[in-house]
């Protein structure tokens, strides 16, 4: 199987991808697409099911495509994900040690954020390879139990009284605090169309502490626009992570699987081995969660965070104050373009595209000895590690974390340390 949930086999010598095929299956398939260098097959009959098969939980997963591994034994899913990380390093020619995938055993009900597209009263997810919305009624097995009743209620209200300008329903839950936030993404700046529903939401669900309107008229696949209007309650909610309290706004990055994020951050802190009085640079810091969790309870640590989203920087500053961490400053800037001064530890948590090569050059030129790389994309992690190796760094064990069970995504954390001095002339 690959990370998209396709079984991979050969038919007449050509590679063939089979949706829903599981390693070990014996299948009869029909070829439905012939491309230049691959085939696509459809299962017609399962002659012998794989021992790695499991019952599907979601009736929409075959058409949705969000859950690559619904129908696969969770233990085997972890094996696949470890293989995805190991394969990424092998493709870059790196003999890296890849640890076992860390999991807390929770497979469903872990997502503290959902974003459902809305069209003609339908609320759900886009079908695989289509722009058609699969109407799930605002309910998904991956969503937190705190979110599901709220999203199902909103979906029902939208069906009864459609709002033509509504594009997405975006909901976040602070599982550590029990707080929830609802954000309506609209094509128009028309808060009056949403105020009655916002009032009903806050009255019906005491856990809903924030209802906002986001205005996004642009016809793109980017969900959120830049303008936010408060409809009810606060403009943000709070959540707990590693014993700290965090303010999270709709625009801020926040890990969708809080218990697994705690395990990931604790592992990152262990690899960083930050000491009292040292200087820590947190690039792509979001709301400051990684750096603040590392710096907490270590006297004298100087923390600098860099993040490009202004709302997230504001949250980070508020989070430092909220947790009594005085020696922390947060800068609103592009982390890939920032200057690198003298730090004892650098931690990076970039988006899927990874680090800019120029940033890696600047980190290497700074003489930094320890860097902790948190990655949501094994391919760019391995690519960037190859560049660090060319600058004289060594790669420690890459530890995968299953922050997104049932999907093809896997997070990793690796320690990168300076191994030798490379001179050019």
The residues assigned a catalytic role are 376
Torsion of CA 236, 240, 245, 249, to 10 degrees: -20
Q: Which residues of 372-385 are buried (b: 16+ CB within 10 A; e: fewer)?
A: bbbbbbbbbbbbbb
| Inter-CA distances, 368 with 293, 300, 349, 371, 395, Å | 21, 19, 17, 7, 14
DSSP character at residue 57: S
At 86, is the secondary structure helix, strand, or coil? helix
> Are 389 and 364 in contact, with CB atoms under 8 Å apart?
no
| Inter-CA distances, 221 with 60, 135, 162, 163, 308, Å | 22, 19, 22, 20, 20
Chain Cα centroid distance, residue 422: 35
Which of 171, 174, 198 lies closest to 116, judged by CA?
171
The burial class, CB within 10 Å (0-12 / 13-18 / 19+), for 390 is exposed
């Amino acid at each position: 199987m690959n990370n998209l949930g396709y079984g991979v086999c050969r038919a007449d010598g050509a590679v063939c991808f089979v949706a829903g095929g599981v390693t070990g299956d014996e299948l009869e398939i029909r070829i439905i697409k012939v491309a230049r260098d691959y085939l696509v097959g459809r299962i017609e009959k399962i002659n012998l099911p794989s021992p790695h098969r499991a019952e599907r939980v979601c009736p929409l997963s075959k058409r949705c495509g969000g859950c690559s591994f619904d129908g696969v034994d969770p233990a085997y899913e972890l094996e696949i994900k470890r293989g995805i990380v190991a394969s990424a390093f092998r493709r870059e020619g790196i003999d890296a040690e890849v640890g076992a995938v860390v999991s807390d055993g929770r497979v469903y009900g872990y997502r503290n954020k959902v974003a459902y597209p809305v069209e003609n009263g339908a609320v759900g997810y886009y079908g695989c390879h289509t722009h058609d919305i699969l109407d799930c009624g605002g309910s998904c097995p991956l969503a937190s139990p705190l979110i599901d009743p709220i999203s199902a209620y909103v979906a029902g209200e939208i069906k009864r009284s459609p709002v033509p300008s509504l594009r997405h329903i975006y909901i976040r839950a602070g599982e550590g605090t029990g707080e929830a936030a609802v954000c309506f993404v609209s094509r128009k700046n028309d808060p009056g169309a949403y105020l009655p529903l916002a009032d009903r939401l806050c009255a019906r669900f005491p856990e809903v502490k924030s209802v906002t309107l986001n205005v996004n008229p642009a016809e793109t696949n980017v969900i959120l626009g830049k303008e936010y209007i408060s409809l009810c309650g606060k403009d943000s909610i709070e959540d707990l992570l590693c014993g700290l309290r965090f303010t999270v706004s709709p625009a801020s990055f926040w890990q969708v699987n809080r218990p697994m994020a705690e395990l990931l951050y604790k592992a990152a802190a262990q690899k960083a081995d930050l000491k009292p009085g040292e200087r820590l640079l947190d690039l792509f810091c979001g709301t400051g969660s990684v750096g603040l969790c590392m710096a907490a309870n270590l006297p004298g640590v100087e923390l600098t965070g860099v993040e490009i989203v202004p709302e997230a920087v504001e949250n980070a500053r508020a989070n430092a104050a909220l947790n009594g961490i005085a020696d922390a400053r947060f800068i609103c800037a592009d982390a890939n373009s920032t200057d690198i001064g003298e730090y004892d530890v650098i931690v990076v948590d970039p988006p899927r595209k990874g680090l800019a090569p120029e940033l890696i050059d600047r980190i290497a030129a700074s003489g930094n000895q320890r860097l902790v790389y948190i990655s949501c994309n094994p391919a760019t992690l391995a690519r960037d590690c190859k560049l660090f190796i060319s600058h004289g760094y060594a790669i420690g064990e890459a530890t995968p974390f299953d922050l997104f069970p049932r999907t093809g995504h896997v997070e990793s954390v690796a320690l990168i340390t300076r191994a030798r001095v490379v001179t050019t002339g």
